[in-house]
């Protein structure tokens, strides 16, 4: 075989190799790497063509033209692929696809829920490109209604609750009337008037789109009442960090549609300096004979110490426990400080019931400590354990009832069986020894 024929075969193989390599690179690699790889192939072909120019100029020009044609074809194919890839990237749906269209928001509204800002699917979802209402944080959900429900687990949310204690819902969270959602409603009776641009219903309610000026607005919701409970105070509804607790209904005493701060029993003929009911007297502010504590009225208070048990109202730094109802012993509507069983015929220096004697102050035969009456007490020392009420600066522990064993009107701390002939340091009865007597 001549050198010229061998050179032609070599040139043909070079062109086939360049073409094959170029098309494989175009279809297998992504468009960025493809561009770089194709350029390298064209460069190789061009170098090989220029190399042959030294030995055979006509053939070099021929294969140079072939190389240029292949290069132009490769560039055209590369540009076409880039255009196709960009078009796919731009048209790819990154959010929610439905019936060939791409939507930003997808919210479940149920079979009967409305979807007036998008397209509703058969499975109860609403697809929309824009959210005209409230967008749920860090999601592609759009909700028509949002309310602040308060800290932690106190607030009830019938929709979806966010990390910042807002409730999102596709249905009305407040008051629905005649197909519209209103932020606030109140009863005004048949003679009352609705203020502003509110709507009045046939059952004498006023519906407001915004909070009227005579109520409290907090975080987008309307509240008719608020009480100061302090930063550490308990609040069963929505609590503001400044110490106020907000209520939609009267938190104290409602009488004939009006919220009163305090009520007390006065009987049918008792004196009343507030608003008189059938047997109770209602006050819009605390009367002088009761205790006012953190904005509320309490008829009674007891000393329990800083760490004492309190089933009324007490802050952690206070020593008194406040009560709205009698914390001790109530008899016929009156609160008594102390009572004891005297039987049907026993002597009573207080108010006699059927078998009990009631006292408004501690009788002489019991112990009084910090305004309360205690029937028993025991010396425990300054550092001794006390299961009752421990004197703040004394050495005694006080008890309302016997904490141990009651025997013949006396209270004992120990009761052990010693038998008929066993020794006993206290009172012996039926083989049992009662010792460690309480005062």
Residues 355-395 pLDDT 10s: 888 888 788 777 877 767 788 888 888 777 887 887 766 68
Structural domain harbouring 430: 406-439
Degrees (nearest 5) of the Cα angle 151, 154, 155?
Answer: 80
* Residue 226: C-alpha distances to residues 242, 298, 325 (Å): 12, 17, 21
The candidate with the shortest Cα–Cα distance to 317, out of 432, 225, 231, is 231
**Is 136 found in the same domain as 81?**
no
109 occurs within a structural domain:
yes
Total domain count, the chain: 3
219 occurs within a structural domain:
no
**Is 84 found in the same domain as 125?**
no
78 occurs within a structural domain:
yes
400 occurs within a structural domain:
no
**Is 148 found in the same domain as 164?**
yes
What percent of the chain is modeled with pLDDT above 90?
Answer: 0
The model's confidence at residue 73, banded by pLDDT at 50, 70 and 90, is low
The model's confidence at residue 69, banded by pLDDT at 50, 70 and 90, is low
357 occurs within a structural domain:
no
Extract long-range pairs of 295-299: CB within 8 Å, 24+ residues apart.
Answer: 295/227, 295/228, 295/229, 296/227, 296/252, 296/261, 297/261, 297/262, 297/324, 298/322, 298/323, 298/324, 299/262, 299/264, 299/323, 299/324, 299/325, 299/326, 299/335
| Residues 419, 428 contacting (CB under 8 angstroms) | no
15 occurs within a structural domain:
yes
Write the pLDDT tens digit of every residue in 179-210.
Answer: 778 888 888 777 777 877 678 888 888 888 88
The model's confidence at residue 46, banded by pLDDT at 50, 70 and 90, is very low
């Amino acid at each position: 075989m001549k050198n010229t024929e061998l050179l032609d075969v070599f040139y043909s193989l070079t062109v086939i190799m360049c073409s094959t390599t170029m098309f494989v690179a175009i279809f297998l690699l992504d468009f960025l790497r493809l561009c770089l790889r194709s350029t390298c192939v064209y460069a190789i072909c061009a170098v090989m063509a220029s190399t042959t120019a030294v030995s055979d100029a006509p053939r070099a020009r021929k294969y140079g033209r072939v190389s240029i044609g292949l290069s132009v074809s490769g560039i055209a194919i590369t540009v076409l692929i880039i255009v196709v890839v960009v078009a796919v990237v731009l048209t790819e749906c990154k959010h929610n696809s439905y019936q060939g269209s791409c939507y930003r928001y997808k919210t479940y509204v149920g079979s009967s829920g409305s979807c007036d800002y998008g397209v509703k699917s058969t499975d109860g979802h609403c697809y929309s490109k824009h959210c005209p209402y409230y967008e749920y944080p860090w999601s592609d959900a759009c909700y028509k209604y949002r309310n602040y429900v308060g800290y932690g687990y106190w607030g009830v949310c019938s929709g979806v609750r966010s990390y910042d204690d807002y409730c999102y819902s596709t249905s009305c969270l407040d008051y629905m009337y005649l197909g519209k959602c209103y932020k606030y409603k109140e009863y005004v009776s048949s003679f009352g008037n609705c203020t502003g641009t509110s709507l009045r219903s046939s059952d004498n309610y006023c519906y407001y789109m915004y909070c009227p000026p005579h109520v409290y607005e907090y975080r987008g919701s309307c509240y008719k009442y608020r009480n100061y409970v302090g930063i550490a105070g308990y609040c069963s509804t929505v609590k503001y960090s400044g110490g106020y607790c907000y209520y939609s209904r009267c938190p104290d005493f409602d009488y004939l549609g009006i919220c009163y701060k305090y009520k007390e029993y006065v009987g049918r003929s008792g004196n009343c300096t507030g608003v008189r009911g059938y047997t109770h007297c209602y006050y819009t502010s605390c009367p002088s004979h009761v205790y006012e504590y953190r904005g509320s009225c309490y008829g009674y208070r007891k000393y329990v110490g800083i760490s004492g048990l309190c089933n009324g109202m007490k802050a952690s730094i206070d020593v008194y426990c406040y009560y709205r109802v009698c914390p001790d012993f109530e008899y016929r509507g009156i609160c008594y400080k102390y009572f004891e069983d005297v039987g049907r015929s026993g002597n009573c220096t207080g108010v006699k019931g059927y078998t009990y004697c009631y006292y408004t102050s501690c009788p002489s035969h019991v112990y009084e400590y910090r305004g309360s009456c205690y029937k028993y007490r025991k010396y425990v020392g300054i550092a001794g354990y006390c299961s009752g009420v421990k004197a703040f600066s004394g050495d005694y522990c006080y008890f309302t009832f016997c904490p141990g064993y009651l025997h013949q009107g006396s209270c004992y701390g120990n009761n052990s069986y010693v038998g008929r002939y066993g020794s006993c340091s206290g009172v012996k009865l039926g083989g049992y020894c009662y010792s460690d007597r309480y005062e």
